[in-house]
Structure formats: C-alpha cells, structure tokens
Structure 1
Amino acid sequence: MVQNNSNCSMSHFRYPLFTSTYSLILLFGLPLNTVSLWILVRRNGLRKSVPVIYMANLALSDLLFILSLPFRIIYFTNGEWTLGNTLCMIPGTLFVVNLYSSSLFITLISVDRMLAVVYPLRSRFLRTAPVAWGLCATVWVLISGLSVPTAMNHQENNDTECNVMRCFEKYTTDEWKYGFYILCCVTFFGILVPFGIILGCTVAVVRQLSSYSMKTSSSNTDMSKNKIVKLFLSNLLIYTICFIPFHVAFIVFGLNKLNILQGGETYFHIQTVTMCMASTNSCLDPLIYYFSSKKLQSRGRCDSSTKTGGIGLVQSTSLIQQ
C-alpha cells in the first residue's frame, strides 16, 4: 500500500466504524437469530402457524447475512482484499439479499397481522400455511433474480492508485451507473411500496383497535390493544430507521458519484453511517418479531376470559398466532 497518499490511508473513520459495527452485529446477531430460528422451528413448527413461517424466513435471511460478516470484518480491518473474486461477491450480494428479503418479509408480517386484527374471520382462507409458504417462495425467487446483477456489480477491483485489491468500495464510474439504476428500481419496488403497505396496515389496525376501546373498558383488553399497537409501530419504526435513511443517502451519494449532484465528502460520510444502520436490522428483527410476539401470545391467553365487548379483540389477538 502506498503510504504517502492520503487516499490510501486507513485513517478514514469508515474502517473502524464498519469493523466495530459488523463485529457487534456478528456477536449479538448470530446467537439471536440462531436461537430464534431454532425455537421457531422446533417449538412452534412450520406447518400451521402463518406468523411463524414468515418470522422463520426472516430469521434465515438475517442469519445468511450475518454469516458473511467475517469477510467484511477482515477487509475493513486490513484495508485490502486478498480472498479472491468469488468471496468478494458473496458478502455484497448477501447484504442486498438480506435488505430486500427482510423488507418483503416484514411487509408480509404486517399484512398478516392486519388481516388477523381487522378481518379475523374473512381472512382465514388467506392466512394458511400453503399460502404463506407460496408467498415466501415468491420472495426468495424474486430476491434470487436480483442477486445475479448484484453479484456482477460487487466484484473485487484493482486500486491502481494504492496498488491493492479492493472489495465493497472503489468502484468505477461504469459500475456506479449500473448499480445506481438497479438501486433506484429496487428502492421503489422493494422499499417505498412495502413501506406504504406497512403504513396502511398500521393505520387500519389503529382504527380497528380504537373502535374496540369504545366498546369495552376492560383493563385486560386495553393492555392487549396496547401490545398489538406496539407490535405494528415496531414494524414501522425498524423500517424507518434501518431502510429509509440508507436508501435516501445511497441515492444522493450515487448522484454525487455520477457528478449530477455536488457536495464533496459529506454524502459519502452519511452513506457510511446509514449503511451501518441498515445492517443492524439483522439484530433487531429477532427481538422485535419473535419475543414481542411471544408476549402478545401470553397476553392473548390471559384475556381469553374477557366478556362481551372484548371478545372481538381477544379473537384477533389469538388469531395473530395462528
């Protein structure tokens, strides 16, 4: 590595930031997702419970990404890539696979929970294991198709200025153009459209639960209502924090790289931070979607004796787990 060139120095904050962020995600995300997936499959099973099917696929997506993190940690620790072209393509591809499969699985979870609360009886034919598996298979097929151009755009490249091989950075202008067009397309269909669906589901559930609260003053029913609202808001919150900032920053940074937008290094710094934020979704998913769901299930059982006006809410609560 050329020592007298500032562009070749590892003093830029992205190197320690990425190294520490990915190390923490690996440290916490690997056991969280492994245990969550094991419990979902062994304790709950994948034959009947629709939410479990969606959450198990979400945990699998997160686990695949987390297993690729050692390659990223090695690179950002050393500042150069020595593991070959194939191993360079895999981590970059799995990051994209995780990002958009998580987006779609979170959307499926939100839609499923909305149907259970707003249309608990009419939606039973839609909330079945075969339908859930079919939707999950569709997600994996779509994401697999996206992974091909992504892999081709995440190859190792020779940084002639510093005389080292690079991975995850230092892409050419042509690679940026190609990647930018893909990014704009998947941002709309893979992020904005799902976000709109999740937002719509959240509004529908809040309205439905508001009508329940006017029919009953049961404290148990109010607690169940609050649990359900928190689950939907957590869906919206994790989506807003992890996915939206990253895509906004990446598009702006892409415009800067293509000389369409001026702004110096500022956009690069923002893109670096938001990429770390996007990566943390693999740690937050098992906490929000599995453990919160178990609390809701316990509450649903406790409320099974609720009378009169709370019956609809209790039915909706229990149906979320079916």
Structure 2
Amino acid sequence: MLVLAFYILTFAVGFPANIFTFVTLLGKACRRVSASDILLLNLTAADLLLLLFLPFKMVEAAAGRTWPLPIVLCPVANFCFYSSIYLSSLFLTALSVERYLGVVFPLHYKDRKRPGRAMAASVVLWLLASSHCSIVFVAQYHGSKNQSVDTSYKCYDDFSEGQLKFVLPLRLELFVVLFLLPFAVTIFCYTNFVRVLLSRPNIPLQKKQRAVGLAVATMVNFGVCFAPYNISHVVGFVEKKSPPWRFYALTLTSLNAALDPIIFYFSSMAVQRAMAGVVVALQNKFRVVVGWCSSEVSTTESDGSFT
C-alpha cells in the first residue's frame, strides 16, 4: 500500500503541474518558439505520458504486484511507461547540452541555434527511446512460459530462464546507452555551465542562482529517480536474475514527473512569470477571504453590542 500511496501522490502533484507547464510553454511557443522551448515541451510530453500510464501501475500495486488486467495490456503499458522514463533522461541531457553550448560558446552557438535542429533532435530521441524499450513486446513472448490469465501473473517480471537470457543483456545496454552516457554528458555540461556563469562578473546574481538551481535539480533527478532503477539492470545482469528490490527502484522513477516542474521553473522565464501570476492570484484571493471573514466578525461583534 505504501507504493500505491506513492504513485497516487506523484500523480496528484505531477499531473496538474505538468499540464500547467505544458499549456504555458505551448502559449509561449505559439508567439515565439526557441530550441529550449521545444526541448522543454518534449520533456513535459514525456512526463505526461508516464503520468497517463501511471494508473496501470497503481492497479498493479493495489493487486499486490500482480497484473489483474488483460495480459495484452501488460507490454503496452510497460512500453509507454519505460519509454517515458528514458525520454525524460534523454531530454534532460539535451537541455544540459543546449545550456552548455549557449553559455560556453555563445557566439558560435547563436549562429546555429535553430528550432528546426531541436525538432530533429527531438524526433531522434523519441525514436531512440521507443526502439530500445520495444524489447518489452519481444520479451513478452520470447521463450515464454504458458501464460494463462490468473491472479498470480506478474507483468514484465515473471520471466522464464529463456526470457532472462534475452532480457538481462538488453537491460545492461539500456543502462549504458540510455542512462550512463546521458548522465555523464549531463554532469559535464552542467559542471562547465555553472563554472563559466559563476566566473563572469557581468552575469546577474539571480541568473547565477537559477543556473545552480537548475543543475542541482537535474542531478537530483538523475541520482534519485533514474540511478537506482538503472543500477538494478547491472545487478540483474551480474546475478542472472532480477533483484528483488527492482520493483521499488522502478517506483522511484515516477517521482521524476513530479520533480521535472522544478527544472521547468529554473529553465523558462515564461513558466516563472506564469507561476508568479498564480501566486499573486492566490494571495489576492486569500486577502479577499480574510477581509470577508474579518468584516463578518466585526458585524457579529457590533450586533452583539446592541443586544
């Protein structure tokens, strides 16, 4: 039940936050689109894809880690869920590269900064993640046991020995290609991005703080959300079986959809302005409510003084 509560909390926080961010970025892009906007929109779309299929994980958690739904939905739900995880890591890396090039090589990158390049890169990243995660369809039937609809079936976990021989090496490839390399590139880019910004005296302090916040939020995202699950791939390959804690590591990956809005806040002035507008509106409503309550109390006290 703890896993189910975690999924529900992630959905409750992440879904409205990502919808708000997506609408804000889309409105900004309709006026004037930039490479950063395109990457952020794709990152938001990846998060929404994860959140839309998170209810399947909720049902699975509520059923005690078994799959009570039709078996045909198992590979579909997992394909979308896993693809969204790796899409998030790839687009976080693409954003780090975009920030790095814009700060370290401002003049050289400005001449080549075109939204079309970001769109092409986005298509490549979607194809890269989805093609790798399509192994869930093959693994479902490769050397499989006779799968009947029963209450003990575990989706993408109840593997035969033949399936494990097929799945475990591919999981190791996912670790290297879709996690380790992007993480290394992200560390390199944000380390140099922050170093260069902090060394320039003409950069406003607020911008430097945003840069540090962006780098820290991204590193936390990789370290907390993506690292445990991907490390389970390595452990599984070494031990020749899925580690028993893999299910809980997978649970942490969904937290990424709730943490990404923090990155959106540090990355986009449009999101910051929209968020500031929401805060001001809430403050005004709070003042109205407080003022109304105060007037009601004063009226009640005055009425009592006359009786």
What TM-score does the superposition give when structure 2 sets the normalisation length?
0.78
Q: Which has the greater radius of gyration?
A: 2
What amino acid sits opposite 1:85 in the alignment?
Answer: I
Shift of 1:78: 2.2
Distance 2:145 2:254 in 1: 23
Give SS of 1:85's match.
Answer: coil
1:105 is the counterpart of 2:91: yes
Q: What SS does structure 1 have at the residue aligned with 2:109?
A: coil
Conservation of the 8 A alpha-carbon contact between 2:43 and 2:87:
yes
Shift of 1:104: 0.9
- Tell me, in whole angstroms, the C-alpha distance in 2 between the residues paired with 1:208 and 1:296: 24
Shift of 1:126: 3.1
Task: Structure 1: give runs of 5+ residues left out of the alignment.
Answer: 1-15, 260-266, 300-322
Offset of residue 132 of structure 1: 0.3
Q: Residue by residue, what CA displacement relative to the aligned partner does 1:35-54 show, whole Å, maximum 9, x if unpaired? A: 21111112343862111110
Aligned to 1:308: none
Tell me if the contact between 1:81 and 1:165 (Cα under 8 Å) persists in the aligned partners.
yes
Conservation of the 8 A alpha-carbon contact between 2:24 and 2:271: no
Counterpart position of 2:284: none
* Residue pair 1:157, 1:165 contacting (<8 A) in 2 also: no
| Structure 2: distance between partners of 1:158 and 1:38 | 46
Partner of 2:255: 280
User: In the alignment, is residue 242 of structure 1 matched against residue 225 of structure 2?
Assistant: yes
Q: CA deviation at 1:159?
A: 7.5
2:121 corresponding residue in structure 1: 135
SS at match of 1:209: helix
Contact 1:88 1:167 in 2 (8 A): yes
Question: What is aligned with 1:182?
Answer: 170
* Change in CA separation of 1:154 and 1:243 when aligned onto 2, cut-off 3 Å: farther
User: What pairs with 1:115-126 in structure 2 (closer than 5 Å)?
Assistant: 115-126=101-112
**Structure 1 SS opposite 2:112:** coil
Report Cα offsets for 1:264-319 as digits up to 9, x if no partner.
Answer: xxx423x233222222111111x2222222459979xxxxxxxxxxxxxxxxxxxx
Instruction: Please list, as runs of the form range in 1=range in 2, the aligned pairs for 1:167-178 lying within 5 A after superposition.
Output: 167-178=155-166
Distance in 1 between residues matched to 2:62 and 2:31, nearest whole Å: 40
Cα distance in 2, alignment partners of residues 222 and 72 from structure 1: 43
Kindly tell me the number of residue pairs found equivalent between the two proteins: 269
* Match of residue 205, structure 1, among 193, 196, 201: 193
Question: If each structure's helix is expressed as a fraction of its own residues, which one has the higher value?
Answer: 2
The answer as to whether partners of 2:3 and 2:61 remain within 8 angstroms in 1 is yes
Please name the residue that 1:310 is paired with.
Answer: none
Report the TM-score, using the length of structure 1 for normalisation. 0.75
How far did residue 163 of structure 1 move? 6.3
In structure 2, C-alpha distance between the alignment counterparts of 1:244 and 1:46, rounded to whole Å: 37
Instruction: Give the aligned partner of residue 48 of structure 2.
Output: 63
Does the 8 A contact of 2:104 with 2:193 survive in 1?
yes
Query: Which whole-Å deviations, capped at 9, do the CAs of 1:128-165 have from their partners, x for residues lacking one?
Result: 100000000111122232232223325797688x8633
Distance 1:164 1:76 in 2: 13
The separation in 2 between residues aligned to 1:93 and 1:297, in whole angstroms, is 30
C-alpha RMSD of the superposition: 2.7
Q: CA deviation at 1:212?
A: 0.7
Q: 1:85 to 1:298 in 2, by over 3 A?
A: closer
Task: Work out the CA distance in 2 between the residues paired with 1:141 and 1:253.
Answer: 26
Query: 1:166/1:192 Cα in 2 relative to 1: closer, same or farther (>3 Å)?
Result: closer
C-alpha separation in 2, matches of 1:256 and 1:250: 10
Partner of 1:221: 204
Q: Is the 8 A contact 1:47 1:129 kept in 2?
A: no
Please name the residue that 2:285 is paired with: none
Q: 1:51 to 1:163 in 2, by over 3 A?
A: closer
- Listed as ranges, the gaps of 5+ residues in structure 2 are 274-307
Q: Aligned residue for 1:196?
A: 184
